[in-house]
Amino acid sequence: MNVLLIGSGGREHALAYKIFESSKLTKLYCAPGNPGIEEFAELVELSTSDFNNIVVFAKEKGIDLVVVGPEQPLVDGLADHLRANGVNVFGPNKEAAMIEGDKSFSKELMKKYSIPTADFEVFTKNEKDNALNYLDKISYPTVIKASGLAAGKGVAICNSQKEAILIVDEYFENGIFGKSGHTIVIEEFLEGEEASIFIVTDGDNYVILPSSQDHKRALDGDKGKNTGGMGAYSPAPIISEKLLAQIEEKIIVPTLNALKIENRKYNGCLYCGLMITKEGPKVIEFNCRFGDPETQCVLPLLDGDFLQLLHSTAIGMIDQTAVKYNGGSSVCVVAASKGYPDNYEKGFEITGLDLKHENVIIYHAGTKKLNNRIVTNGGRVLGVTSVLKENNIKLAKQTTYDALSKINFEGITYRTDISDKAL
């Protein structure tokens, strides 16, 4: 198979790594990719927003499967466009991707089909007065979310009414997330432990990948701002077999059915972000693609043929035996640029990338090649990830941090407590 992978982050590096292992692969292309992905794929300069060009490229190169990494092109309809032109694609159509692209839609869907989630109300920009009245009635903390895409940064936890009013102004008046923040969801604050579950599905049947946990906050102890994700581990011990059965019954099956009934049949990876509360698992958010950085931990724990899983899913006949959890464990720590998730500088040389570490994969996220050196080129720069054959998160953590201590660039910043919640 010839495969075209779309995207350029750590998640796409992990996807490329895994696809490259398949005996079914003839050639892998990646647009636009990054220097880490270049080890496995020919990088092509295709704009991920130029759908016509992607179709032309796919036809020209005889692409058997397009795998879309990030949410934006899915929400914008890239998968629809490819399917309409007879190109196989792993990733949901626009109507199904709305489950991530429009939080007000996904919350209403969950309400309609009794899928457990935080209580909420939706307000648009011209309903600001109603929003403010609502803030007067509820208890705190409360959570305010931009309804549209905001790179994982559109969620504010407000400890007081005063804070909440400021946030409403930020979204509605100052427009910090543009149109994405012109509709907001105000929802109940849930307490518990978070977990991420990836479902690969052709809309009818599905495969559940190993559980994981992200670390969204910038600083140790879950302090600081929300980020795209500062690290992850897999599997998440909180997800017992019993709990997983409950998640399937109460969340996965009803959600896939709801999407089918609503004519939004899902094809691709459905990311379920969950809070395990005292009342049971509840949905914090759905995403229409693999999570970043969880994917960097989850995929190396799969035996079997991952490309076969993606391809069989894309053609609507998911092979539920294509992959299997191998019993191992993994911890990924993101090395970020100083200042992330706010402003940061780029272009610093990264050293230590050529050192070979046993049981460690160094995923590239925000890097670029400059005169044969690798330099920083983003907020999240690397995902240093241990992969162990045994389920031993403590050793996995130690392995990751040992490797990380030998990597450097000016302003390197990372959390030191990734996976502690599992220990």
Partner whose binding site includes residue 101, from ligand AMP, ligand GLY, none (CB under 5 to 8 Å by kind): none
Residue 156 CB partners (closer than 8 Å, separation 6+): 143, 144, 145, 163, 167, 170
Minimum distance between the CB of residue 293 and ligand AMP, rounded to whole angstroms?
A: 13
Partner whose binding site includes residue 194, from ligand GLY, ligand AMP, none (CB under 5 to 8 Å by kind): ligand AMP
Which residue, 106 or 287, is less far from ligand GLY as judged by CB?
287
Nearest C-alpha neighbor of 273 from the set 224, 316, 232 = 232
Cα distances (Å, whole numbers) of residue 244 to 175, 208, 235, 274, 327:
39, 9, 12, 11, 16
- Rule CB under 6 A: choose which of 292, 330, 337, 382 binds ligand GLY: 292
Residues 254, 237: Cα–Cα separation, whole Å:
24
Exposure string (b/e) for 389-414, b if CB count within 10 Å is 16 or more?
Answer: eebebeebbebbbebbeebebeebbb
Query: In the 8-state DSSP scheme, what is residue 187?
Result: E
- Hey, how many other C-beta atoms are within 10 angstroms of the C-beta on 378? 21
Which residue, 73 or 152, is less far from ligand GLY as judged by CB?
152
β-sheet bridge partners, residue 248: none
Answer positive or negative: Cα dihedral of 2, 366, 300, 7.
negative
- Rule CB under 6 A: choose which of 146, 190, 301, 334 binds ligand AMP: 190
Partner whose binding site includes residue 155, from ligand AMP, ligand GLY, none (CB under 5 to 8 Å by kind): ligand AMP
Work out whether 196 is an interface residue with ligand AMP (CB under 6 A): no
| Pair type for strands 193-201 and 213-214 | unpaired
Scanning 127-135, 180-188, 286-294, 302-310 for contacts with ligand GLY by CB under 6 A, the matching segment is 286-294
Work out whether 344 is an interface residue with ligand AMP (CB under 6 A): no
Partner whose binding site includes residue 294, from ligand AMP, ligand GLY, none (CB under 5 to 8 Å by kind): ligand GLY
Partner whose binding site includes residue 292, from ligand GLY, ligand AMP, none (CB under 5 to 8 Å by kind): ligand GLY
Cα distances (Å, whole numbers) of residue 289 to 97, 206, 325:
9, 14, 19
Query: Restricting to residues 143-162, which ones interact with ligand GLY according to CB under 6 A?
Result: 152
Which residue, 145 or 289, is less far from ligand AMP as judged by CB?
145
Cβ proximity of 213 and 409 under 8 Å: no
Scanning 106-114, 291-299, 369-377, 394-402 for contacts with ligand GLY by CB under 6 A, the matching segment is 291-299
Minimum distance between the CB of residue 86 and ligand AMP, rounded to whole angstroms?
A: 35
Scanning 5-13, 52-60, 181-189, 230-238 for contacts with ligand AMP by CB under 6 A, the matching segment is 181-189
Which residue, 199 or 307, is less far from ligand AMP as judged by CB?
199
Work out whether 273 is an interface residue with ligand AMP (CB under 6 A): yes
Scanning 161-169, 185-193, 201-209, 402-410 for contacts with ligand AMP by CB under 6 A, the matching segment is 185-193
β-sheet bridge partners, residue 330: 234, 387
Which residue, 100 or 202, is less far from ligand GLY as judged by CB?
100
Query: Restricting to residues 275-314, which ones interact with ligand AMP according to CB under 6 A?
Result: 284-285
Residues 272, 321: Cα–Cα separation, whole Å:
21
Residues 153, 384: Cα–Cα separation, whole Å:
22
